[in-house]
Amino acid sequence: MPRSSNDLLKEFLSERSTPCPSCGYDLRNLTGSSCPECGQRLQLSVTLVYHNLPAYVVGLVSIGMSLGYSAIASGFILFASLNGRLRNPSGAFVVCIVLTLLISIALLVVWIRISHWLRRQSPFRRWTLATACVALPIMDMALLIAIGPR
């Protein structure tokens, strides 16, 4: 007869000094399926040793930086134009900022949608894509500085 998950949890903890993931209480010789200190329900499960998330997070933060920079620049141009402080913004500059904003939004949506696919890729491929994302806000700033109003 197969053993219940609670029995497997108790057996596992009878041999090991393991902290509760919630409060850190030592669960050795646990008699139930909840932590006696904080009351959180516990379950025995298999997880990945390495979650493949660092490259994903680096890419996400980089795209977010590009989006934030573009949004701030767009807001500045709109505000300055409405207040008459920026009389004749360069067409190329405005187009560049709007395109950068739209591209950043699209990249953010794509990056979030490919998160599961990305985690299954080799470390080289994950970090290559993350590095391309890191280059994005740097290229944004360089381009906007190069063609911005003087």
Give pLDDT, residue 150. Answer: 61
CA distance 89 to 73: 12
The closest alpha carbon to 63, from 92, 38, 35, 100, belongs to 100
The closest alpha carbon to 140, from 86, 102, 90, 113, belongs to 102
Give pLDDT, residue 69. Answer: 87
What is the rounded radius of gyration, in angstroms, for the C-alpha atoms of the chain?
25
CA distance 20 to 24: 4
Look up the pTM and report it: 0.63
Give pLDDT, residue 129. Answer: 95
From first to last of the 150 residues of the chain, give the pLDDT tens digit.
Answer: 677 888 899 999 988 899 998 889 999 999 888 999 999 999 988 877 666 789 999 999 999 999 998 888 888 878 877 777 766 667 777 788 888 889 999 999 999 999 989 988 899 999 999 999 999 889 888 887 787 666
Cα dihedral 27, 28, 29, 31 in deg (nearest 10): 10
Q: Give the tokens for residue 78.
A: 């709109």
Domain boundaries, the chain: 1-46, 54-147
DSSP string, 38-101: T--B-------SS-S-HHHHHHHHHHHHHHHHHHHHHHHHHHHHHTTSSSS--HHHHHHHHHHH
Place of tokens 């939004």: 105
